[in-house]
Amino acid sequence: MRSLTVASSSWSSPSWRLLLLVCACVTALSFLFASSHDRHNPVSHFFRPDATTYAAGYSDERARAGRQYLLEASQKLDPDRHNDGARADLAVVVLTVARPALQQQQQYLDASLGSLLEAIDADARRHLFINVVFGDADPETHPLFHADWLRRTADELTVRRLPSSEEWSPSSLPPLHVSPMPADAPTTPPKTSAWHQKATLDYAMALLACGRAAAAARASHCLVLEDDTVLASSWHAELRAYLAQAHQWPAGSWGHMRLFYAEKYFGWEDTEVGPLVASIASLTAAVALVLRVVLRARLATTAVVCVFVAAQLVLLVLAGRNHVFPVARGLSTMNTRGCCTQAIVYPTALVDELARHLVAHAGERPYDISLDAHLAARGLAKLATHPPLVQHIGAASSRAHYARASPLWSFAFERRRPR
């Protein structure tokens, strides 16, 4: 009878009511904060996209700056200027393909190549060897193939077959390299789609071009960019610093360095739900044990605190995995979740091997997954930069009538401050 009286008094105690009020207020404030703070977090339960969620402030600025640079380059740069790679220590390949849904003025190559070049000075440009790779069966079907600025900015062009235009000759600058469809490409129907198979062979073509350019320039790394991207104004200085950091990894221990990733792939996996529930239950039980056994707290106090702790943990989980496991600033490993192949730096020694792997397995699965699986099988780490140096701006695909369900977008890139 006495124990029931004690228990009853603990529940009716003013101190317990005050504790309940404080915990309820803090939980409510936590909920409101998460609802506001994570409304633009694509892996959060509180994600509420609106007109400003995918606002392309910084990337639009970089696209405009890049296109303006090429407009001026058409008037200023010498069309016979040619970088033979003698001083280059980084090869850059921009893989481009015509987008059927877009007009000439809306293709992506000019924004990508322009934002790359606009951000560097003349000396830095001499240390780059730039190859623009056209994945189209006929390069002249690409609306920007004959753009005047292309001749004045690229060091080499790679095509599937020679154009029929008389203006191209063996002595033309920039020189043309012909890379036809590989004879050893799979002839069986692809397991994915004909488009995926063609995209895989295009990327293999870009890797071979990058490896050839890097070998000619004796560059230890090459950067492969897909054309629907823009680069940050500080990309060159930051990348040089990251490559210097990468030398701290054992030689031959990493397979690529990702310059772009999308946060939408950083949510909780289904396999993590069970451990999360168990962790919340364990932590709550531990708090209850400490309160009751060590601190000899009242039952009411213990109950309120345990419910409060559990609620805070649940809110943290609902807020998104990237709150619990944020991407480290700078250069770090990203062996899983990274997507896709918009901007990746490869060690030159690996590119031929990766290209052969893609050709041999073209059409079996998307090529970014195929590359990741191959690097994992070789035990090679995958690195990533944070914040990303590159943003994906492609809304139109090389596939007609294709639209992505949700944007492939880096929110961290847009948080960069314009210079």
Residue 145 to residue 104: CA distance in whole angstroms:
10
Residue 90 to residue 72: CA distance in whole angstroms:
25
Query: Which CATH number is 57-265+327-414 given?
Result: 3.90.550.10
At 358-377, the pLDDT tens digits run 999 998 999 999 999 999 99
pLDDT value of position 82 = 63
pLDDT value of position 163 = 83
pLDDT value of position 85 = 67
pLDDT value of position 402 = 46
Q: Decide if pLDDT at 288 tops 60.
A: yes
Q: For residue 366, is the peptide bond before it cis, meaning its omega torsion is within 30 degrees of 0?
A: no
- Beta bridge pairs of residue 346: 222
Average pLDDT over residues 133-153: 92
Share of the chain above pLDDT 90, in %: 58
Instruction: Find the angle CA(153)-CA(195)-CA(256) to the nearest 5 degrees.
Output: 55
pLDDT value of position 112 = 97
Token output for 134:
């056209």
pLDDT value of position 5 = 45
Q: Decide if pLDDT at 12 tops 70.
A: no
At 311-339, the pLDDT tens digits run 999 999 999 998 888 898 999 999 988 88
Instruction: Please report which confidence band the pLDDT of residue 349 belongs to, taking 50, 70 and 90 as the band edges.
Output: very high
Residue 226 to residue 108: CA distance in whole angstroms:
9
Average pLDDT over residues 25-41: 94
Q: Length of the chain, please? A: 419
Most confident of 21-35, 41-55, 99-113, 212-226: 21-35
At 372-414, the pLDDT tens digits run 999 999 999 999 999 999 999 987 555 544 455 568 999 999 9
pLDDT value of position 193 = 79
Q: Decide if pLDDT at 216 tops 80.
A: no
Average pLDDT over residues 218-230: 93
Average pLDDT over residues 31-38: 93
* Average pLDDT in the chain: 87
pLDDT value of position 245 = 95
- Give the least confident one: 10-19, 61-70, 221-230: 10-19
Q: What is the residue extent of each domain of the chain?
A: 57-265+327-414, 270-325
